[in-house]
Structure formats: C-alpha cells, structure tokens
C-alpha cells in the first residue's frame, strides 16, 4: 500500500524524535511491502523563523493532501515573548482546526518492565492500559458567547458550554470503534446531574451505543471518574468525554505511567487525515543532545499505522518492539535508574528497529 506522510518536526527535540519515528516507519514499510513517502514541512517556532508564519500555507496544503501527519512538538523559550496570535502554538491550533480534528485519542499504558528498574517506579501503576477519547473542537473552549461585560458597575465573564448532538454522536462513534479494537468497554464521563449539555451527551451516547451491542457501556460522573482514575485505573479500557473534562482527566491519567517520554496521541477528524504526535513538548532543556526518549514519537507512528492506515498487524509489531526494548533494559535518560546507564535517542531507535527485524 502507498501512503504519503507529512512530517512536521517542529522545534526542540521534535526533529530528533520524528527522525526516529520515520526510521521505524521505513522499517515497517520494507517488512510489509508498503511504500511510505515522507514530505517535510515547517511548523511552530522554526516555521516563524523560516517563513514568518507558525503554519505556512505550504505546510497546511501538504498536510491536508497527505494520508497522515506526524508531528514532533512546537515552542520554546526563543519564541515565548511573541504575542499569542504569533506564537508557535498557534500553528498547532490552526492545523487541528483546519483539518477538523475533533477526536483526541490518548492511550495511557504503564509498561510492566519499567516498574522494577526505574526512578519512576513509585509513580507507575501496574496493569494500567486504557485509552482516553477526548472531544477536541467543541464545548467550553469554543462556545459563543465568550466575552466580558460590565453590568451595573461590575465586570462579569461568560464562557459557553455548547454541544450539538452531531458533535457528540461522532466522538461517541470513535470511542465505540476504538473499544472494538481493544477490550470492548467504554466509560462515558459527564456531569449529567447538573449540566444540560451532559444530559444531551448521555442520551446521545446511549443512542449511538445501540449500534455497538458488542461494546459494554457505563456512564460515570466526572468527579467520580477523577477519583476512579486514582483508585482503580486498571479497570478502564476506553474513556470518552467532552473537551474540558478530557483536558483535565488526560493530564491526570498521564501521570499513572511515570514518564511523558513514552506517551503518544492521535487527533482524528472528518477528513480522514489524522495528526499523530507525542504528548510531551519540545523539551528545550535537552534539545540537540541526542538524549530525548523517542518512544512517544515511535508509538505515535504506531497509532498512525493503526488508526490512520488500518494496518493493525504493523501497529502491533511496533508496539511489541517498544515493549521488548523496555523489557531488554534499554533506558533513555528520562527513565534510566543511573545516568551512566542511559542510552541515546539513536541507540534506543536502533534497538526498536532491531526488535522489528
């Protein structure tokens, strides 16, 4: 199969970790007789420096025409003083919006082999392996009116929590479909006891569920969900929720696994072009030192292959290779018990490639 992949390395460690992911994808293409073409584009701070725009038109067009977008990270101290509308992050927000990437998928998985030998072992919770499906383009962050006004001498501020049934339906479908590829259990998180938007959320999720009788559905209030994530995180399979709740719960959940350097994400939309990126940022403190953990980016590439290209075998191959290198004791600096035992970004990547062969 032929696929064109837009690669947007961005800033900081972005170029190092996306290079690692490309190498892994090339190995997969060789092994399974696929043809992947990689097209590089500017985004973020480096795009501001090169093109005067955090999302140049060429990047946007090339990305829209691709079969999938692999992104590193954007931002860094160099651009921190720019006003909001000109910042590197604007590039990321704009590409999500222009491709209508409404479904943010974040797997939260604790690798068993890290529990024994890791400075993070206390933070890692055994058997955690679930997926958060967060609605990304609706709700409180986007609803109108969103403004300040002065009423009788006092300032007040308004944000609007608005969801259309169609927006809920499409994210619920994503969640049920994802559950079919996993363990067939969905927990839908809302606040239906007090919010009207949550009552519509719950009804709509129930309606969609009728078409997925093979998936088990449970509704959970968000305050309880925040508690259950700590109390029994291993019980979750797929969690689906609206934008604000998902923002908070996904950051909470990421800490169950110990390290940011391991966590991938996918943002999927209506156009069929998805965006795949590590959860971590541009890590300016270690950029250019060949020290970054490439596994989050490599796992993001696995998500591209799985959700974007529907190549489940190939995705599983990458996931197994990542598990194997960790089980074999390869540790980048962020997860190494002793600094002198840490491997470099390229050594970790080579180990994954070897595990693929």
Choice among 223, 310, 313, 328 that is catalytic: 223
Q: For residues 140 and 132, is the Cβ–Cβ distance under 8 A? A: no
The 10 Å CB-count burial string (b at 16+, else e) for 191-227 is bbeebebbebbbebbeebbeebeebebebbebeebbe
Which of 189/275 has CB closer to ligand NAI?
275
Q: Identify residues 189-248 at the interface with ligand NAI (CB under 6 A).
A: none
d(CA 291, CA 160): 43
Is there a catalytic annotation at residue 32? no
Active site residue 141: yes
Nearer to ligand NAI, 292 or 318 (CB): 292
Other beta carbons within 10 Å of 40 = 14
Q: Which of 51, 141, 159, 185 is catalytic?
A: 141
The alpha-helical segments, DSSP class H, found in 145-193 are: 165-180
Distance in angstroms (rounded) separating the CA atoms of residues 274 and 180: 19
**Does 74 sit near ligand NAI (CB under 6 A)?**
yes
User: Which position has the token pair 């050594």?
Assistant: 347
Q: Which is nearer to ligand NAI, 103 or 179 (CB)?
A: 103
Residue 296 sits in the site that holds ligand NAI (CB under 6 A): yes
Check the annotation: does 351 bind a ligand.
no
Residue 62 beta carbon to ligand NAI: minimum distance, rounded to whole angstroms? 19
Q: Is 76 in the site for ligand NAI (CB under 6 A)?
A: yes
Strands (E), the chain: 2-10, 35-40, 68-73, 103-109, 129-135, 143-151, 154-160, 185-190, 216-221, 238-241, 264-268, 275-278
Q: Give the residue carrying structure tokens 């068993």.
A: 112
Selected binder of ligand NAI within 28, 133, 222, 283 (CB under 6 A): 283
Q: State how far the Cα of 105 lies from the Cα of 261, in Å rounded to an integer.
A: 17
Taking CB under 6 A as the rule, does residue 280 contact ligand NAI?
yes
Q: How far is the CB of 14 from ligand NAI (least distance, A)?
A: 7
191 noted as active-site residue: yes
Kindly state the smallest distance separating residue 88's Cβ from ligand NAI, in Å. 7
Distance CA 292, CA 14 (A): 9
Q: Which stretch binds ligand NAI (CB under 6 A): 155-163, 179-187, 239-247, 277-285?
A: 277-285
> Interface with ligand NAI includes 16 (CB under 6 A)?
no
Residues within the interface to Mg ion (CB under 5 A): 247
Q: Is 298 in the site for ligand NAI (CB under 6 A)?
A: no
Binding residues for substrate: 96, 106, 134, 223
Binding residues for NAD(+): 76-89, 281-293
Catalytically annotated residues: 141, 191, 223, 247, 251
């Amino acid at each position: 199969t032929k696929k064109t992949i837009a690669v947007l390395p961005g800033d900081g460690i972005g170029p190092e970790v996306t290079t690692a992911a490309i190498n892994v994808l090339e190995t997969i293409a060789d092994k399974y007789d696929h043809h992947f073409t990689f097209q590089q584009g500017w985004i973020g701070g480096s795009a501001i420096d090169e093109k005067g725009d955090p999302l140049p038109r060429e990047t946007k067009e090339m990305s829209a025409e691709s079969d999938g977008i692999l992104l590193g990270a954007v931002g860094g101290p160099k651009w921190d003083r720019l006003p909001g509308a000109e910042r590197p992050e604007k590039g990321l927000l704009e590409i999500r919006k222009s491709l209508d990437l409404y479904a943010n998928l974040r797997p939260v998985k604790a690798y068993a082999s890290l529990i024994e030998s890791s400075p993070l072992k206390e933070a890692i919770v055994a058997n955690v392996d679930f997926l958060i499906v967060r609605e990304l383009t609706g709700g409180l962050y986007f609803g109108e009116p969103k403004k300040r006004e002065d009423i009788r001498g006092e300032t007040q501020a308004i944000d609007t929590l608005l969801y259309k049934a169609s927006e809920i339906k499409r994210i619920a479908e994503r969640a049920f479909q994802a559950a079919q590829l996993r363990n067939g259990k969905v927990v839908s998180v809302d606040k239906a006891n007090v919010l009207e938007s949550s009552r519509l959320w719950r009804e709509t999720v129930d309606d969609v569920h009728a078409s997925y009788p093979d998936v088990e559905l449970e509704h959970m209030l968000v305050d309880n969900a925040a508690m259950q994530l700590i109390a029994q995180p291993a019980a979750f399979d797929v969690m689906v929720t609206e934008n604000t709740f998902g923002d908070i719960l996904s950051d909470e959940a990421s800490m169950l696994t110990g390290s940011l350097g391991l966590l991938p994400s996918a943002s999927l939309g209506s156009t069929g072009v998805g965006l795949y990126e590590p959860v971590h940022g541009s890590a300016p403190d270690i950029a250019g030192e060949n020290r970054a953990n490439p596994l989050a980016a490599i796992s993001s590439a696995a998500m591209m292959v799985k959700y974007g290209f529907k190549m489940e075998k190939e995705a599983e191959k990458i996931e197994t290779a990542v598990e194997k290198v960790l089980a074999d004791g390869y540790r980048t600096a962020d997860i190494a018990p002793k600094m002198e035992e840490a491997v470099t970004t390229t050594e970790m990547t080579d180990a994954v490639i070897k595990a693929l062969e």
